[in-house]
Structure 1
Amino acid sequence: MLDFAVLKYRNQKLSEQLAVHKFEYHALEGKFDDLKQKQKAHHETQDLANKSWEHLVRDLKAISVCKSGFQNPSCSAGPSNVSTG
């Protein structure tokens, strides 16, 4: 009988520990999902900034080539979205 009481007590304690671990796991899982969403938004913003930067650099190169006197078909159309003043 004593062994049964000890096993029952240990089982109860293990069940309590399991419940605590499950709770902590779900809390951490929620934090992880939040971080993934923030990281996704950060990457989207970074991609947009990189594309804008590449577009600006391309337009500035076109302006530089056109002002240097080099005849290029794109010089007559002018660069897109950039004002030369």
Structure 2
Amino acid sequence: MRNNPVHQYRFGFDLLESSSVEKNLGVLVDNKLTISQQCALVAKNANGLLGCIKKSVVSRSREAILPLYCPLMRPHLEYCVQF
């Protein structure tokens, strides 16, 4: 098995900091190419948005929330987290 060390890169005389997660095109990908952090972040943001929807709607009935849920929540939940 080959030893693959993590290389240290420099910008001029400064040593650049390494990172285990990279954000590319708005998607978090870790060094094992998994998107678990992306899914957790999307779920957190979606829960916050759902809280805003619930606070702004007087009625908590399905008929009141569903017309707001589909156009506001689905794009956040479906962007780059499809399997």
TM band (smaller chain): 0.3 to 0.5
If the length of structure 2 is used for normalisation, what is the TM-score? 0.35
If the length of structure 1 is used for normalisation, what is the TM-score? 0.34
| Greater per-residue strand proportion | 2
